[in-house]
Amino acid sequence: MSMKFTDKNVLVTGGTRGIGKAIVEQFAAAGANVAFTYRSSSDEANALVKQLESNGRKAKAFQADAADYAAAEAAVGEIVSEWGSIDIIVNNAGITRDNLMLRMSEDDFDAVVGTNLKSVFNYSKAAYRPMMRQRKGRIVNLSSVVGVMGNAGQTNYAASKAGIIGFSKSLAKELGARGVTVNVVAPGYVETDMTSTLSDAAREAMLGSVPAGRPASPDDIASAVLFLASDEASYITGHVLHVDGGLAM
């Protein structure tokens, strides 16, 4: 079954690279109008907007700190004003500042929780009233296998990603009766810029724990996001979909 998003209006945070870019491109290919946020890569953002528009889709790029609520409210407000609705929010923005907790600074903890977890609050809250008024909507939040299993040297990242799961389940209970679903995709090891800095030994050790025997591609994760955002998933909410090759079994 081919999922269609013809004329749906989508906002993806952190949409210029890796998983976020794959999500943006897959939604556009399925017929959606797509807005996305980015922090600093203006050239990549402008190129992506032109790419989407050349294929006949409406597109917008918002330069924003994901941890800034006012920026989230402004972005959602502009989409609703100009495009008429906000149908799907994908909270994908994320950073890492890994270190053993003994050496982790308070700033590193706050930065990761602010970008990874508070951003989910920001964009979900900004879309809350519009989606309730529409009596329909999809919110898909990106967590991680680390938020389920933990990982040494990533207490800040694990806390933020575990928090996303609890947040999403709670919000799903608030919005379920209004036709709005809230779900989570929890990726495992994905080939992105964020993981490209791993040593060969670290990469081999990680893959040795994956029953599928390979890393995920960004498109593997994006496909799961699109499923949870689709009409076919209308009776799924509060769910955590592991896309990790069996790592968290």
Residue-wise pLDDT for 54-112, tens only, equals 999 999 999 999 999 999 999 999 999 999 999 999 999 999 999 999 999 999 999 99
Task: Tell me what pLDDT residue 217 has.
Answer: 96
Beta strands in 17-136 (DSSP E): 33-38, 59-63, 88-91
The answer on pLDDT for 170 being more than 80 is yes
Whether 52 and 24 have beta carbons less than 8 Å apart is answered as: yes
Q: Looking at residues 202-208, what average pLDDT do you find?
A: 79
The answer on pLDDT for 46 being more than 90 is yes
The pTM score is 0.95
Task: Tell me what pLDDT residue 152 has.
Answer: 93
pLDDT higher at 202 or 105? 105
Task: Tell me what pLDDT residue 1 has.
Answer: 54
pLDDT band at 161 (very low <50, low <70, confident <90, very high): very high
Q: Which amino acid would we find at residue 220?
A: D
**Average pLDDT over the chain, rounded to an integer:** 95
Contacts of 140 (CB under 8 A, 6+ apart): 88, 89, 90, 91, 182, 183, 184, 185, 225, 228, 229
The answer on pLDDT for 195 being more than 80 is no
Catalytic residue among 38, 123, 128, 157: 157
Residue 187 phi/psi, 5-degree rounding, is -70, 155
**How far is residue 127's CA from residue 129's CA, in Å, rounded to a whole number?**
6
pLDDT band at 197 (very low <50, low <70, confident <90, very high): low
Task: Tell me what pLDDT residue 73 has.
Answer: 98
The superfamily CATH assigns to domain 9-243 is NAD(P)-binding Rossmann-like Domain (3.40.50.720)
The answer on pLDDT for 156 being more than 70 is yes
Q: Is 157 a catalytic residue?
A: yes
**How far is residue 122's CA from residue 66's CA, in Å, rounded to a whole number?**
8
Percentage of the chain exceeding pLDDT 90: 90
Task: Tell me what pLDDT residue 203 has.
Answer: 75
Sequence spans of domains, the chain: 9-243
Pairing of strands 33-38, 9-12: parallel
**How far is residue 113's CA from residue 67's CA, in Å, rounded to a whole number?**
9
pLDDT higher at 203 or 14? 14
